Structure 1
Amino acid sequence: LSTEFRQHSKLRHVEKDVLIPQIMRERAKELCSDKVQAFTKCCQETGFLMVVKCQQENTALKDCLVGYYSDPLFYEECKAEYLKQREEYRATGIKKKRQTLTSNV
């Protein structure tokens, strides 16, 4: 790898621990949108009893999200997305918002 590429791909603490995980959370919510919707619907329908009544939906949602959070390939994809966004910002000075897969998440 070229020295220039290595310099551009170095990550600060805030990038590794805050910004990339933020992208991971956003993307995981999109990828688990069916489970997010099921849990949300259950909570809306049961009100105060959601703690008891929505355990199955909550477990399915957690399992889906944690599956992505603990996947090293998913981390690398999100890191690559972050680096691309950072490079575009450095080149243009314009921060672009992420495109979401679904509009209701």
Structure 2
Amino acid sequence: MDSDKAEEPYLRHVEKDVLIPKLMREKSKVLCAKQVEAFTKCCQESGLLMVVKCREENAALKECLTKHYEDPVFYEECKQEYLREREEYQKTGISSKYKNQKLPASM
């Protein structure tokens, strides 16, 4: 057995096919913020005609997002981030989403 394969952490189907891609989508939206903003603005200004009027903005947004979705280096970065978050959760029982939030005083 290859030594690199032995060290590779096990990922469940839901992690590989749902959770890591979800993280990729979230991070891609941030990386494509300019295109997201342009498309959103166009849609708000166009109303029901957005399908016709916002084709260019939609195409630019799709191109940017697809570039990240199909990038194996980006996938690996997101996978490693997910694994760090999973490990932290397993150690502490606290999700990284809630780690820096303050609890209400009534608790």
Q: Give the TM-score taking structure 2 as reference length.
A: 0.84
Q: 2:15 corresponds to which residue?
A: 15
CA spacing shift, 1:23–1:56, aligned 2, 3 Å: same
CA spacing shift, 1:49–1:87, aligned 2, 3 Å: same
1:75 partnered with 2:79 = no
Displacement of 1:4 in angstroms is: 8.3
Q: 1:31 corresponds to which residue?
A: 31
Give the aligned length: 96
Cα separation, 2, equivalents of 1:2 and 1:41: 47
Bigger relative contact order, structure 1 or 2, given CA contacts below 8 A and separation 6+?
1
1:51 partnered with 2:51 = yes
CA spacing shift, 1:2–1:93, aligned 2, 3 Å: farther
Q: Give the TM-score taking structure 1 as reference length.
A: 0.86
Unaligned runs of 5+ in 2: 99-107
Q: 1:103 corresponds to which residue?
A: none
